[in-house]
A and B are shown apart, each in its own frame.
Chain A
């Protein structure tokens, strides 16, 4: 969904900064999230994604800059803002002294919902999270993925207008991930705004209308997944894997073959408009990789270019 210039942003940040003592975790970042949009933060470990999410979620005060969420000021209207957010923190914060169902019930109560309403929604959400059979179980013995699903279900108890999802699918099996993507997509269609961080580029490509790449506390690029790929990568990539030890002897041998060459520990990436042509040219030069894979550029390539690291460290 393109940014609609007519509607004011739902989240508006200018020069937003977070400091921990002398250390700056988020350094004067600017971004806007439009109503109904799915907006992503990508970045390597320690880039400042979680710190930014916590400021938006009004659980951590900004050290500088301006921030408005739903048109309100987190400093003075935290409770009103939080009442309309659904938060999935990076680390689960489930109440381990309560059962699965009680976790949902009491969370609804924190939002001021009536007991009857909490009960109704809890049962619905247990269904959603495929935890109906575990309702009366304690939280502690649940598997990591089940806890994650419960955390996500809990974040929906107040029917939020904005979801803040910090690495929502980390720890989920592929089936549960796809299920969650589907649910998030449906929420988005109902007008819920999604703000998420992720280390999975397929997730970013699937879910995000627009995303920013953060590195070392700053935003280094912004755009739709497609426009970022166009701007920061070539159309295709030829990936070459060499026998162990061979790759280190190849310095300089790729010169002039491609628009850009990236040496990873286990393979060499050659960026070009036509990957097949690059593979042929390399063969003509006498390069003999064990495997060659020609593929379209992805966000991973953008990420690598901008931060010098792969998405999943």
Chain B
């Protein structure tokens, strides 16, 4: 339609990155000043590792690992703490910070007046949440490798696996946040994430539970993520991993889809 208005010379770079990337850039601006908040999330799983893995681990001794072979308790909990750290990092971004941006800051309205779409916003915010979760995963994998708790080179794959878990939990958390009306609703998030942390076969094998309860535990993304990551750090692969990957991917896609639809409802009235 150049006949209608002559296109002006534009200093537009070729689009190499998807538009959603700019949300990550925006968040980098913010965290350039407040990076200490991110760092604190790295130490929490480390403290648990020392307390549980080594403190409690001395009393417990060996437990049954993914392949059925006995492994030291610290080696059993370390991947679970890695998974939890990555999940919590992503969920914190996708819930608390996302809620603030959605309800108190008019950032998203401003962004939607540019070429970006609600889907770009949803994808960009999830991607950012993943980056935060992923940073924790990378930091933690270095620590457990140094401590000799990750014995297999497959442990490197724990990083993409942790990202996948962050995607699933983050996207669902973000979708849930889009329905929240006030800060009080966040108590609900704690009510869900804390038991998930304690009971998703993080500190003891799922076989500890009676059959009926196992089914409930297996629904949680954290259980699937822990099982996947534990297999990788210990170096035992199995066909069930394909299911775990698919389960988390589908969960994330559904969360993303709901989030996009909700943003459209809320922001494009």
Instruction: Classify chain B: how many residues form its interface, as a range.
Output: 20 to 34
Number of A residues whose C-beta is below 8 Å from B? Answer: 46
Closest chain-B Cβ to A313's Cβ sits at a distance in Å of 23
Q: Among the interface residues B3, B5, B19, B105, which one has the most CB atoms of the partner chain A within 10 A?
A: B5
Assess the A110–B268 pair: CB atoms within 8 A. no
Is B110 part of the binding interface, using a Cβ–Cβ cutoff of 8 Å?
Answer: yes
Task: Please pick, from B5, B8, B107, B111, the residue contacting A10 in the complex, using a CB distance under 8 A.
Answer: B5
Assess the B109–A83 pair: CB atoms within 8 A. no
Assess the A96–B105 pair: CB atoms within 8 A. yes
Assess the B110–A95 pair: CB atoms within 8 A. yes
With A10-B5, A70-B4, A159-B8 as known contacts, state yes or no: A85 contacts B15, CB within 8 Å. Answer: no
**Residues of chain B in range 84-123 having any CB-CB distance to chain A below 8 Å:** 105-107, 109-117
Task: Please pick, from B1, B22, B105, B116, the residue contacting A79 in the complex, using a CB distance under 8 A.
Answer: B116
With A109-B22, A111-B115 as known contacts, state yes or no: A60 contacts B269, CB within 8 Å. Answer: yes
Is A172 part of the binding interface, using a Cβ–Cβ cutoff of 8 Å?
Answer: no
A113 to B11, CA, bound (A): 6
6 contacts between A and B (CB under 8 A): A71-B1, A91-B106, A97-B107, A110-B19, A110-B115, A191-B5
What residues of chain B have their CB less than 8 Å away from a CB belonging to chain A? 1, 3-6, 8, 10-13, 15, 19, 22, 25-26, 29-30, 105-107, 109-117, 268-269
Task: Please pick, from A20, A59, A96, A112, the residue contacting B112 in the complex, using a CB distance under 8 A.
Answer: A59
Assess the A95–B113 pair: CB atoms within 8 A. no
Assess the B115–A71 pair: CB atoms within 8 A. no
Assess the B106–A117 pair: CB atoms within 8 A. no
Nearest residue (CB) in A for B112 is A59
Encoded as 1 (CB less than 8 Å from any B CB) or 0, chain A from 39 to 74 comes to 000000000000000000101110000000011100
- Inter-chain contacts of B114 with A (CB < 8 A): 82-83, 107, 110-111, 158
- Inter-chain contacts of A92 with B (CB < 8 A): 106
- Inter-chain contacts of B106 with A (CB < 8 A): 91-94
Classify the interface of chain A: helix, strand, loop or mixed.
loop
Closest chain-A Cβ to B111's Cβ sits at a distance in Å of 6
- Inter-chain contacts of B22 with A (CB < 8 A): 106, 109-110
A72 to B22, CA, bound (A): 25
Assess the A93–B109 pair: CB atoms within 8 A. yes
Nearest residue (CB) in A for B6 is A191
Nearest residue (CB) in B for A160 is B8
Assess the A71–B4 pair: CB atoms within 8 A. yes
- Inter-chain contacts of A96 with B (CB < 8 A): 105, 107
A89 to B30, CA, bound (A): 24
